[in-house]
Amino acid sequence: MWLDGDTESLIKRNIVHRYGNESLGYNEVRFGGKSESVSNITSGLTLIRFPDVTSFQRKDIYQYIPAIAEFAGQYSEQNEPNNYLVIEVKDIRYRKQLIPLGLFVFEELFNQNNLTLKEIIVVAPIGTNSPGSQDELNIVHKYLFVFVKE
């Protein structure tokens, strides 16, 4: 999905429209490695937003993936069937090394009990043809992994 304009609000609007119930709203969770509680989830759609990577350290990367998996496991146990969990994730560079967080999160969640992968949406803003530096390309895309509770 190519987005022009405010990608954050366009992602929210499209996700809520496609997978949510406008009258129930949705839950939005943003965390960078620390576990979040599922106990305050109140609607059929939960969107986990990717944290601000400008402050990501290597230790945060190793805490982020298990924290997402723990949240997804709790979500799977505590929510009704046909509820959606959408996880936004972005590959990052750390000290010139590509960290494929999208792949790592996908591998961690693929066999999660009672959650079925419904869609993988790749989002990139329009007009991001910037080549980056001489040594590497800019990472401008993000993934939205859409899981449904069975």
List the single range of 52-61, 66-75, 87-96 with lowest mean pLDDT: 52-61
Note the pLDDT tens digit of each residue in 96-127.
Answer: 788 888 999 999 888 777 899 999 988 877 76
pLDDT beyond 60 at 35: no
At 38, the amino acid letter reads V
- Residues 6+ away with beta carbon under 8 Å from 129: none
Count of structural domains within the chain:
1
CATH classification at residue 91: 3.40.50
- The domain in which residue 108 lies consists of 2-149
List the single range of 8-22, 31-45, 85-99 with lowest mean pLDDT: 31-45
31 vs 34, which has greater pLDDT?
A: 31
2 vs 9, which has greater pLDDT?
A: 9
> In this prediction, what percent of the chain has a pLDDT beyond 70?
72
pLDDT band per the 50, 70, 90 thresholds, residue 12: confident
d(CA 60, CA 50): 12
d(CA 8, CA 40): 23
- pLDDT for 133 equals 58
Beta strands, E only, the chain: 2-3, 27-30, 45-49, 84-89, 92-94, 97-99, 115-125, 142-149
CA angle 1, 143, 55 (to 5 degrees): 125
pTM listed for this prediction: 0.81
Helix pair 58-78, 101-109: axis angle to 10 deg: 30
CA angle 119, 101, 109 (to 5 degrees): 50
135 vs 150, which has greater pLDDT?
A: 150
Q: Is the dihedral of CA 43, 47, 52, 53 positive or negative?
A: positive
